[in-house]
Amino acid sequence: MQSQAQNSKPKVRQTKKSHIPKRPFWLKLHTIIASFFLPIAAIFLLSGIFLVTGVRSRTEPQTYDLVFTQQIDNSDSAKLAIIENELDARGISHMLGSTYTRRGELNWRNSSIRASLRLNTGRTTGTLTIQHASFLSKLNYFHFAVTPLHEVIAIATVIASTIIFLTGVVLAIQVKALRRTAIIWTALGTAFTIMVLIIA
C-alpha cells in the first residue's frame, strides 16, 4: 500500500530553463548604455541648437608667407608634409586630423585647429593659414564628425541610441499594461519613417 501511495504522488514536471534574457538583463543594459552616452547626446543637442539658431564664434586666423628653396610638387601629400612641418615648427600638435581640398587649397583640421596651404604661381612660395578653434567651433566639429575620432564617436552614438530604443521597446513589451501601446507606436513610427523616406 505504501509503495502504491508513493507511486501515486504527482510527478513534478521540470521546466526547461529559457536562454532568452529576462527583464533585469534588458533593464541593466538599457541603464548602462543610456547613462554612458548621455553626456555625448547632450553635446549633439547643444551643437545642434547652436547650428540651427546661427550662433557662431570664431578666432582670428594667422597667416604666414612661406618661401621654399625649390619648386613644390602640387600633390596633396607634398602639401600635407609642408603643413605638418610648419605646425611642428610652431609647436602645434596635429594628431587625429583629416584633410580636404577647397579652391586649390589643401586644408587640414582636427578638433583644435584648421590649417590651409595655398601654393602661389611657380610653387616656390605659398601662404599658410592657421586658425585655432573656439569652443563653439569644437562643438560643431563634434556634431559633423570632422575627424576620425569624431567619426568613431558618432557611429558608436548611433549604435548606442538604437540599442537604447530597442531595449526600451523590449522592456515595454514585457509589461502587459504597456505591450499594446509599444506595438502600436512602433508600427506608427515605422509607417512615419517610410513615409518620410518616400516624400524626401
Q: In terms of C-beta density within 10 A (0-12 exposed, 13-18 middle, 19 or more buried), how is residue 119 classed?
A: buried
How far is C-alpha 200 from the geometric centre of its chain's CA atoms? 24
Tell me if 145 sits within 8 A of 151, measured CB to CB: yes
Residue 151 pLDDT = 86
- The DSSP call for residue 129 is E
- The x, y and z cell numbers of residue 80, run together, are 600635407
Q: Give dist(CA 63, CA 131) in Å, integer.
A: 9
Residue 16 pLDDT = 59
Dihedral sign, Cα of residue 98, residue 87, residue 63, residue 128: negative
Sheet holding 105-109, edge to edge: 62-67, 125-132, 113-119, 105-109, 98-102
Tell me if 153 sits within 8 A of 95, measured CB to CB: no
Would you give per-residue pLDDT tens digits along the chain (200 residues)? 455 555 555 555 655 565 667 888 888 999 999 999 999 889 888 888 888 888 777 778 889 999 998 898 888 888 999 999 889 988 888 877 888 888 888 998 887 888 999 998 888 899 999 988 888 888 887 888 877 888 888 899 999 999 999 999 999 998 899 999 999 999 999 999 999 999 87
Q: What is the pTM of this model?
A: 0.63
**In order of start, what are the domains of the chain with their CATH numbers?**
23-54+143-192 (no CATH), 62-133 (3.30.310)
Residue 32: CB atoms within 10 Å: 12
